[in-house]
Structure 1
Amino acid sequence: MADTKLVAILRGITPAEAGAHTSALIEAGFRYIEIPLNSPDWQQSIPALVSEYGHQAMIGAGTVLNVEQVDILAEAGAKLVVTPNTQPAVIRQAVNKGMLVCAGCATATEAFTALDAGAQWLKIFPSSAFGPAYIQALKAVLPASVPVLAVGGITPENLSEYLRAGCAGAGLGSDLYRPGQAVSRTAEQAARYLAAFAQAV
């Protein structure tokens, strides 16, 4: 399961909800959980999830924009940092703290800037605006060993298109989790994504 590079993006989740949804995702088979830092009270949610589920999954944050946030996350024990942009100082600091960095980029210049700063994964965002053909072309100049994730508009129905284009996985947002939805809905969508991934690979 650790090789199933599907990142659950729980944007907008509250501390009260985070545990139940994370538990459902891990039970389904997810091993990467991201709470974006524009979610309510993330300073509570992320340490609680690390404490409860950090031995089962890589828990971390998305929409990480500055070094100060990286330091707070490192103190909380988070292991995953996902950025929406290519910010070398943020990437370097997270790598220095021993975190896995999935850096947001859209062009070859941004991708290589992220890699030079130490990013281990790249995310092409927003993937739905670029499409699989663009990612396939971009992959042609990137190191084959670097996992590229599609993020933005990825559904169980189109996931296979991005995997065929060379993506190693995807970040899954509103089609997986919307604020306030039932845990049963999260579990149902998680199963659909994992089935689509397994069928594609």
Structure 2
Amino acid sequence: MENPLTPDALLAGVRRTRLVAIVRGNDGPAAGRAALAAMEEGFQYVEIALTTPGALDAISEVRASAPVGCFVGAGTVLTKQDVDNVAAAGGQFIVTPSLAPSIEEAAGRGIPVLAGALTPSEAYEAMNRGAAAVKLFPASIGGPGYLKALRDPFPDIPFIAVGGVGLDEAAGYWGAGAIAVGLGGPLFGDAGSGGDLAPMRERARRFVALATQYDGRAAAESLR
């Protein structure tokens, strides 16, 4: 299946929307439904973690049903075999939690990569391996202040803050220079394991509204 999403297009789209959704659960079909629900509420980039049972089937189903302009990727992609599997399932981008062999493998195929890193050396290495952007994970360890310090020597590295980011924290990371935030539990709750989609949809709408209204001065408090 041809992938219309290039690394440059992913980067531009994530910069514009400021949001990436992360589904992780214990039920593949439920994770797929949650991913589609997030797309229907305005999320354009949604990853389904490979640690979710049935994740590859869910990715295939979401790819087939995604609204126009929405893209599904895979998270926790670590090995060459993982990249093979994700590509076969129709995944359009990959996300890693660390400096894994999957980064170079996917980048060599033209598959966009959001590569996990925490330290300055890891962030630099992730970009050298071909990542489109660096997933700062877990961002909550240092908060926006750490991200700001990290960007001082690396102003050209695009960072996405992931891990412990909720409505109250998102604007702080954007203000510190993150091009986007990645949202897992604070967005999906238990939806990826079969939980009620209604509250998840409401949280999704609030995140999308927050990102849309953010202008460099907006605060998450304004939408609470």
TM-score interval w.r.t. the shorter chain?
Answer: over 0.9
1:190 to 2:190 alignment? no
CA distance in 1, matches of 2:164, 2:59: 24
For 1:1-201, list aligned pairs within 5 A: 2=13, 3-12=16-25, 14-53=27-66, 55-87=68-100, 89-144=101-156, 146-177=157-188, 178=190, 179-201=193-215
CA distance in 2, matches of 1:118, 1:143: 17
- SS of match in other structure, 2:185: coil
Checking the alignment, whether the CA contact within 8 Å between 1:65 and 1:83 is kept in structure 2 is: yes
- SS of match in other structure, 1:46: helix
Gaps of 5+ in 2: 1-11, 216-224
Change (3 A) 1:140 1:32: same
Amino acid at match of 2:208: L
Amino acid at match of 1:168: I
- SS of match in other structure, 2:51: coil
Deviation digits for residues 32-86 of structure 1, max 9, x if unmatched?
1111111011121111111221743121111111111011111122111110001
Q: What is the number of equivalent residue pairs in this alignment?
A: 199
Please, what is the CA RMSD of the aligned residues? 1.7
Gaps of 5+ in 1: none
How far the C-alpha of 1:25 sits from its partner, in A, is 1.2
Change (3 A) 1:24 1:43: closer
CA distance in 2, matches of 1:169, 1:13: 26
CA distance in 2, matches of 1:86, 1:151: 15
How far the C-alpha of 1:173 sits from its partner, in A, is 0.7
- SS of match in other structure, 1:61: strand
How far the C-alpha of 1:148 sits from its partner, in A, is 0.8
Checking the alignment, whether the CA contact within 8 Å between 2:18 and 2:211 is kept in structure 1 is: no
Amino acid at match of 1:82: V
- SS of match in other structure, 1:176: helix
